[in-house]
Structure formats: C-alpha cells, structure tokens
Structure 1
Amino acid sequence: MDAVSEARTLAQSGLGLEEILAHLRSHGVDFGDSMWVLAKAGILPPGAAKKAVFDSLTWADRRGRHVAFHEDVVRIADDLAALTGPSQQSGDQVPVISDVPRRFGDQVPVVSAKPGVER
C-alpha cells in the first residue's frame, strides 16, 4: 500500500493527525512528503497540511533546520533581487547564480542569464 492510501486508511479508522504523521515518519516518509501525503489523501488542504506537519510533535526535532532553510532561501532571494534591480524588466542581462556570494562551496551549478550563453 502506498503512503497516500495508508494515510487515508489510518484517518478513516479514526487515528489522529499526530499518529498518522508518526506512522508515516516511521515508514520513511520525510518532512516535505508528509505534507504532500496529507493533502493528496484528502486529510487536509495543502496549506493546512504544511502547518500541521511543521507544528507537529512528530517533526519537532527538525523544525529548526526547516526554519533556517527557509530563512536562507529568503535571504538569497533578497540578494538576487538587490543584484538584478529594476533592469530585469527592460530585458538587460541579469547577474547569474555564480555571481551571488554563497556559503555552500563551489558545487553550485553555473546558470547563464540567457539561453545559449555560457559563463
């Protein structure tokens, strides 16, 4: 039985959300996939599923990592917005990912600003 069917069956049998999440995690379903499973199984709408998983006791030990990840994403998006400025709408070439300072070493792929342009 797949995780979606399993979660649906568990919900229909009267198990609570925390018990369903604990079951999913013990069977290898990760944090992000738990949100997807709850939504796909019709247990919660996507936004509520995200909040339920984030706020759950089952995933409390991972919450700090996910908050830090989202803060990094926002910071990087802000950095990119500051680098590109309003010229992006005029069709000018914008800086590429390789121009953005990063903490993760040199393993980030170099992406060109325009198709067919190598950097």
Structure 2
Amino acid sequence: MSAVQEQLEIKFRLPDGSDIGPKKYTEATTVSTLKESILAGWPKELENGPRTINDLKLINAGKILENNKTLAECRSAICDLSGVTTMHVVVKPPSQDRGIEKDDGNNSKGNRCRCTIL
C-alpha cells in the first residue's frame, strides 16, 4: 500500500467569473478545509464576500459538497478527465440577516403592506 496520496489540482470559480487557484490538495482534504482556503484567498475588492465557511457552498459535477466529506469521497469521474478540476462557489446572500433587524420592536404601522385576496 502506498503512503503517498494523490494530489488533486483544484480551482474555485467565484460568482463574478473570476477564479481562486489552481492549488493542489490531497484526497484526504475535507470540504470545510477547501472552504477555509477560499475564505483566505477571497478577493477583497468583491462585494458581499463570505464571512464564514457556512456562507459558502461548493458545487462539483452538479452536486453540492458536504463539509465533513473528503475529496476522495466527493471525487467524480470528471476529476479524472483533466489536470485541473473547477469547483463552483456559491455565496449565501447577506439579505438573510435582515430578519434579525426587524425584531427591534420599533416598527411603525405605516411601514406595513397589506394585501387582500378575494
């Protein structure tokens, strides 16, 4: 049995079409480690960047990768066809934090919208 793990070359395609990488990772690397690498390499000039790894989703071969899985577990046949594997990065929109701001108790009745469906 060989102690050397295969290295996979991966680049991450960001929502604006730019890339982070390519960089080499072992098959034992977890998806959460990949997300940490994305956070560290995230371009500062891009708006609405992720704050934590929970703000990111990685997609490879049409499947969303789970944080606790390793690259070996997530690997598809597509990874074997070319030298560099591209994974797509989806960022959770920051608008989901708005629900917290609305619970301050200072809502006035003039800011409400009401619809009646007959």
User: TM-score over 0.5 for the alignment?
Assistant: no
Which has the bigger relative contact order, CA under 8 A and spacing at least 6?
Answer: 2
TM-score, structure 1 as length reference: 0.24
Choose between structure 1 and 2: higher strand proportion.
2
TM-score, structure 2 as length reference: 0.24
Choose between structure 1 and 2: higher helix proportion.
1
